[in-house]
Amino acid sequence: MRLGVIGYGSRIRWMVSQMAEADSDCRLAAVADPDWERIRTGIDEPDRGRIRFYASADEMLAQEKLDGVAVGTRCSLHTEMALKVMAAGLPLFLEKPIATTYEDLDRLRKGKERSASPVVVSFPLRFTPLLRLAKEIVASGKLGTVEHVQAVNNVPYGGVYYHHWYRDERETGGMFLQKATHDFDYLNELIGLKPVLVSAMTSKRVFRGNKPAGLRCAECEENRTCEESTIRRDIFPDPPPGEFCSFAEDTGNEDSGSALIRYESGMHAAYSQNFFARRGAAARGARLLGYKGTLEFDWYKDEIKVFMHHTDRVETYRLGQGKDGHGGGDIALARNFVDLMRGTASSSDSTLDSGLLSALMCLKARESAQSGTFQAIDWL
């Protein structure tokens, strides 16, 4: 199977390796990237000789016979490149966020109606053994009907969003689209109800300052004492992506945000994310409460607990997937796409519809935070 890639960044390189692990017949055949010459020199032989390189996606799609294409460009180009692949009718692996504006989201929705391309959106959390077990427990009725959800994402590596190109909000679309798009998707998957309303707030209280725009850590007089300095190997043993000061006047992105989501039954979920928590403060997961019991899980702990409300019983499940990519979700995500390319899977397990809904929720949350208003989650 011949795989093409548009935008050969670090995330898509990892996913290509996972696709090859899922099926050894899946080979990277072509790369389209404006920086293709640098990329080519970084690929070892004999792989370099087997891969054809192009400066544009149009050129690659016109000249190559491919079995599927993965899009891993910067975020603002995800929609544009996805539409090109969908117009060619090829299986598409699409990185999140699938769109960063309402306009692009609507273009994708309309493009879906005209295309027969099967699409797998990069939502690995819904593929993790942890979430699939949580969904199984919820579906069993052990908790009763889920009537309240509390979800959290305290990101211990949040500096990447302020040191790197991610600091440009024109590229990211804000941190709901960067992070909460995953969390909103897994919540929708778990709850199984339609979200109808969102209210949100964001804050920027830490990653801001009066350092000059464009300042690099290597040029800063505080680079030996700053807790975010990318040249300190006691903090960053492996140099992180990016090199810009996270306390400069040109640092974008909020550094915390929260959303209240109402679902069609009337129940609501409370979600909060944070980008300056570090080390043991890391957390990503949720509590789902029914009348009979409460289920809680955390990917960092790789653990599920079920607390029965009317007995003293507490059940604990540990799955041993914590160190695998996205808690074991990446390899399952890759396998689903490879199976679609091969024709052995009947459908995507992470559809474009799920990506459209999650991105819409994020855009509505961003609008709510900016305007101080409740936002209906609908296409109007």
Reported as a single tens digit per residue, the pLDDT across 72-97 is 999 999 999 999 999 999 999 999 99
Q: What is the mean pLDDT of residues 246-267?
A: 96
> Tokens 């052990």 belong to which residue?
142
CATH no. for 2-124+330-350: 3.40.50.720
Report DSSP state, residue 248.
B
**Is residue 347 predicted with pLDDT exceeding 80?**
yes
> What confidence tier does 233 reach under pLDDT thresholds 50, 70, 90?
confident
> What confidence tier does 276 reach under pLDDT thresholds 50, 70, 90?
very high
Per-residue pLDDT at 235: 81
> What confidence tier does 135 reach under pLDDT thresholds 50, 70, 90?
very high
Q: How many CB atoms lie within 10 A of CB 252?
A: 18
What's the mean pLDDT when you consider all of the chain?
95
Per-residue pLDDT at 236: 78
**Is residue 323 predicted with pLDDT exceeding 80?**
no
pLDDT tens for residues 205-224?
A: 999 999 999 999 999 999 99
CATH 3.40.50.720 range(s) for the chain read: 2-124+330-350
At residue 26, the 3 state secondary structure works out as coil
CATH 3.30.360.10 range(s) for the chain read: 126-205+254-324+359-376
> What confidence tier does 240 reach under pLDDT thresholds 50, 70, 90?
low
- Mind giving me the DSSP string for 160-204? HHHHSGGG-HHHH--HIIIIIHHHHHHHHHHH-S-EEEEEEEEE-
pLDDT tens for residues 1-33?
A: 999 999 999 999 999 999 999 999 999 999 999
What's CA 183's distance to the chain center, in Å? 8
Distance in angstroms (rounded) separating the CA atoms of residues 214 and 208: 13
Distance in angstroms (rounded) separating the CA atoms of residues 3 and 12: 12
Q: Compute the chain's Rg from CA coordinates.
A: 21
Taking the model in full, what pTM does it have? 0.95
Do residues 26 and 338 touch, judged by C-beta distance below 8 A?
A: yes
* Bridge partners (DSSP) listed for residue 152: 272, 285
pLDDT tens for residues 182-205?
A: 999 999 999 999 999 999 999 999
Q: Is 234 exposed, middle or buried (0-12, 13-18, 19+ CB in 10 A)?
A: exposed
Distance in angstroms (rounded) separating the CA atoms of residues 39 and 46: 15
Q: What is the mean pLDDT of residues 299-305?
A: 95
**Is residue 47 predicted with pLDDT exceeding 90?**
no
CATH no. for 126-205+254-324+359-376: 3.30.360.10
> Tokens 């891993």 belong to which residue?
72
> What confidence tier does 380 reach under pLDDT thresholds 50, 70, 90?
low
Per-residue pLDDT at 238: 76
Per-residue pLDDT at 79: 98
Per-residue pLDDT at 361: 98
